Structure 1
């Protein structure tokens, strides 16, 4: 759907009606494209139609096949069409919409294209397709560093702006979408102030909501119990040496943030890294995760024999993060350790709250970055096979703060009870009484 043929209101009404239409259960992400220049026309997709990757590739080649272009790729960690329905203001008060700048940009653009359901083909499908089409490497920028960037319009540019998805750690989903919308507005205002032609794309790195597809033919005939469909669990990251698997890591979330700003959290676990630079031997292991967004995580581990415990232990010596030309280092010796034949597991490993990762004070940028790993498990030695972790040594102690408080209060109440019983047992009855018939006691008065 191209810009001159339909009004902005018509395009957005069609987009949100398509959001409510039931389609296939395959994974999908929405895609919005608008430009300060013209765009080739695109036939309006029918309700429930899923745009394939081949169709998107053909259209992008028609847009960027010739000449130089500056593309702004607003890539959110997760995005689904339901997010527009829930947090948009199309069916309610527009003042409550979390996409005010986005709607205004599409309205004021020369041309725009809306794909409510784009077939999701992988974490790096859209960035890789744009990189191939433009013949330009993506440059990771943000709204604060963009004004200091010199953009050469005589060559094609692919500017990547990562946007976080809500994790409910600090803000609600609506607040996160509003912060993302402010970032989009700030970037677009900069491009307008410099009078730079651009084409902007807003999409998701992966769907935020996936409806599992069940085959009707495989369902048993007759009555059956309702049961929840188990969600697919992503496999762990395994590094294999010449002698077999030697390092394994798994995490639900690998959140990193610059300047300790919650709205800038990026979940690296949503991307597929390469392991170039990883090494391992009997005493040291190094796991290097190179992500498409330009971030690099290095986990350095070592194992030593301790005579006191008569066994070998492995420690996570340091975690190094590289991004945007800066490097930060964090020490894990404070509490990330386990027997050499075990793995280490912790529900939350962070550098700022109950910190198990301590920023390196000698580094200039370590204090500017924050790390938070959710449901984190790592093993650098003693892997028996490449599919399962060994027995996990958990970071949670047997006695928590609440348990200690309860034990101390119980001990205090017990002491009070024992003292009270002791006082009661010491009470004795009087062994003699005054005789009422006897002479009264006279007390002489002194004048």
Structure 2
């Protein structure tokens, strides 16, 4: 892997913030031990068995003695790394993760696993090596340890961070400084080393408390909350094995006579029903005595294991005036194991009138909800932007012009007879008038 581009790869491996036990694993070595390892596509999870077989066992099975250093931070996600390393800026020097960037770019081999279904790297490696196992908290204490250079040793560092949990960037910066101290000691040793950075768990950016009889807590992990505004539109329908989550930062209804902002709170799902494992009828309503609003959505799972909203209706009763209209929400479509997410979605009315419902930061999931949390999000960003379409159309026009030109050239005909200098001259009879 190109050392100059290794940190940029963190950006393209971005998977948004994974939740629960899925944590990133980033490794680098001053030897070639991490070369020719399997490449993991963005958005894919690596289970424990795959990690051990294809990565960890390779380190343990190495015949040459070396040092394996495992950095364990309490909470970390691939989003933290891309955000606080300023990975979106091609001219960045690494920002809060400058030392990690240097370690990756100067390594002989490296790996980036955005989402691994395990945080027990240290315990697994400790049980496999034939040398010493040392657990440290203070990075500077490494220089006082004597390692057996004839065996493979494991050093586990618990990276303690600032108690100020509101300053995430400062926590990451402190952990990066600890990595710098350890790397300085490892580079001064004569034996090869391999370093692995992981976490005990991934951070959950926002928790939504559902004020319903189920008292469910839901983990949101698409966008980071600034902690200043906890108001949002949310609905949770749970019945047996059926469960539907619907979240939106805000919902605005545009009509011919103006706009209405719907209540940002937990909506009632009374009237919803689950007829089978492939069909859910979701009802979301809010009635404050003066105004009432209600959404009805028919959600179906097709034969390709994609679920989508095939029918939707919006009803509102404000100031004694009732409006009920079907709205088009067929854009909500995603594989069964994913949640649907879109920064802004517009559900237009399918009947007469100019009704339009705008969902800001919409996330929804109807199937395969585990641990009361949204699954990995499938974003609504399309494959073709306006620029791509313009390029394709322009290219097609150029190809048609060239094809027409070559066709005209191919249709040109030449004379079937030419003058022979040794033969009789061709004469063309002319008549004078």
Which category describes the TM-score, using the shorter chain as reference length? 0.3 to 0.5
Judging by fraction of residues, say which structure has more strand: 2
Q: Structure 2 length as normaliser, TM-score? A: 0.45
Q: Structure 1 length as normaliser, TM-score? A: 0.44
